[in-house]
């Protein structure tokens, strides 16, 4: 089966800033794929090229079997987009906005059902200008999935969501994926990537530096484990490739239960920070200032 997204050698520069510098990506149907990376890494530029909103300089791009830069209205109707910026405030109510947008699609979801999915039922008659930031973001998500898209682009979708709304949103994304919708998600929340993504790619300065299931990213699964325990009233920690052997030895030596035993592998955040390096943000800021100058 043809992948839903296939990208080879993608490049895009703004003046002398190489925003995307040779990206390869493949996303299969029904996958939730997360793009991770620091501010200015090139995620939004990549996603906008895939959405057909931005022209590339070089590279092969196929999305739902077509080149987004030339694809027409029927292709667009198969994609759903939730952009970073919230929907413009207006005098329209949620109902009016969602019903209005539904008219653009050949087979839209039921507007009221979509509002229920994103937790906006109580705001059905409320003017958009009166919604909170998080509620407005939910409206963005509602509009993004309204057209029953085969592929949804979610660019930092849960920014401004309270913890409960995030969990509800995660359930919604899982439901979409279960229905066969492919999801390309950019997020700065590593727990979100870990909870949702089948696979993730980390982009740093326009290049993919790691790719794989979040549990395996950057060699996480095979990363050295920290075994911690309490012995003779003191904390002990060893870093090891063989935690099972250490635990067996400890159990034998201590004659049974090992007090306060824990085994920790590197978290996704540990791996991510290692991959992006501590100077990524500083360098990015410099790049932006240079462009402005």
Ligand X SMILES: Nc1ncnc2c1ncn2[C@@H]1O[C@H](COP(=O)(O)OP(=O)(O)OP(=O)(O)O)[C@@H](O)[C@H]1O
What mask of x and - would describe binding to ligand X in positions 5 to 24, judged by CB under 6 A? ---------x--x-x-----
Does residue 74 sit in helix, strand or coil?
helix
DSSP 129: G
Which residue, 155, 104, 162, 111, is CA-closest to 132? 162
Q: How far is CA 148 from CA 77, 144, 176, 272, in A?
A: 8, 9, 9, 33
285 counts as binding ligand X under rule CB under 6 A? no
Reading the block at residue 286, the tokens are 């410099």
37 counts as binding ligand X under rule CB under 6 A? yes
42 counts as binding ligand X under rule CB under 6 A? yes
As measured in angstroms, the least distance from the Cβ of 171 to ligand X is 25
Reading the block at residue 101, the tokens are 């947008």
Residue 43 or 123: which CB sits closer to ligand X?
43
Instruction: Please name every residue paired with 20 in a beta bridge, in sequence order, or none if there are none.
Output: 12
Residue nearest to ligand X according to CB distances in the complex: 44
240 counts as binding ligand X under rule CB under 6 A? no
Binding span for ligand X by CB under 6 A among 38-46, 92-100, 137-145, 273-281: 38-46
- Tell me which residue has tokens 């201590």: 254
As measured in angstroms, the least distance from the Cβ of 45 to ligand X is 3
Using CA atoms, how far apart are residues 61 and 160, in angstroms rounded to an integer? 32
What mask of x and - would describe binding to ligand X in positions 43 to 62, judged by CB under 6 A? xxx-----------------
Residue from 23, 32, 33, 40 touching ligand X (CB under 6 A): that is: 40
157 counts as binding ligand X under rule CB under 6 A? no
41 counts as binding ligand X under rule CB under 6 A? yes
Is 183:27 a contact under the CB 8 Å cutoff? Answer: no
Binding span for ligand X by CB under 6 A among 40-48, 172-180, 244-252, 254-262: 40-48
Binding span for ligand X by CB under 6 A among 37-45, 88-96, 102-110, 263-271: 37-45
As measured in angstroms, the least distance from the Cβ of 48 to ligand X is 8
Residue from 9, 39, 171, 245 touching ligand X (CB under 6 A): that is: 39
As measured in angstroms, the least distance from the Cβ of 57 to ligand X is 12
DSSP 219: G
Reading the block at residue 70, the tokens are 């030339």
CB neighbours of residue 256 within 10 Å? 6
Which residue, 150, 134, 153, is CA-closest to 51? 153
Does residue 239 sit in helix, strand or coil?
strand
286 counts as binding ligand X under rule CB under 6 A? no
Using CA atoms, how far apart are residues 201 and 214, in angstroms rounded to an integer? 9
Task: HSE, CB side, 13 Å, CA atoms: give it for residue 142.
Answer: 30
Residue 182 or 186: which CB sits closer to ligand X?
186
CB neighbours of residue 187 within 10 Å? 21
Residue 78 or 199: which CB sits closer to ligand X?
199
Binding-site ranges for ligand X (CB under 6 A): 14, 17, 19, 37, 39-45, 284, 287-288, 291
């Amino acid at each position: 089966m043809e992948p839903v997204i296939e990208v080879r050698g993608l490049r895009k520069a703004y003046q002398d800033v190489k925003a995307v510098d040779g990206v390869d990506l493949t996303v299969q149907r029904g996958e939730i794929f997360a793009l991770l990376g620091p501010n200015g890494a090139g995620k939004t530029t990549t996603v906008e090229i895939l959405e057909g909103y931005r022209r590339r300089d070089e590279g092969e791009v196929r999305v739902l079997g077509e080149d987004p830069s030339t694809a027409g209205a029927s292709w667009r109707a198969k994609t759903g987009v939730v952009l970073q910026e919230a929907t413009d405030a207006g005098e329209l109510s949620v109902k009016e906005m969602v019903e209005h947008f539904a008219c653009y699609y050949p087979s839209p979801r039921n507007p009221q059902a979509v509002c229920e999915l994103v937790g906006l039922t109580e705001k059905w008659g409320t003017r958009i200008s009166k919604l909170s930031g998080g509620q407005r973001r939910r409206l963005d998500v509602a509009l993004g999935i309204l057209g029953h898209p085969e592929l949804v682009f979610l660019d930092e979708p849960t920014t401004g969501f309270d913890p409960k709304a995030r969990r509800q949103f995660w359930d919604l994304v899982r439901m979409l994926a279960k229905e066969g919708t492919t999801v390309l998600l950019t997020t700065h929340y590593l727990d979100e990537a870990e909870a949702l993504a089948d696979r993730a790619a980390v982009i740093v300065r326009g290049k993919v530096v790691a790719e794989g299931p979040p549990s395996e990213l950057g060699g996480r699964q095979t990363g050295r484990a920290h075994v911690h325990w309490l012995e003779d009233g003191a904390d002990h920690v060893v870093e090891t490739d063989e935690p099972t052997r250490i635990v067996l030895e400890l159990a034998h030596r201590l004659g049974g239960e090992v007090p306060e035993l824990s085994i920790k592998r590197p978290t996704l955040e540990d791996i991510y920070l290692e991959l992006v390096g501590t100077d990524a943000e500083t360098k990015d800021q410099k790049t932006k200032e240079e462009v402005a100058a």
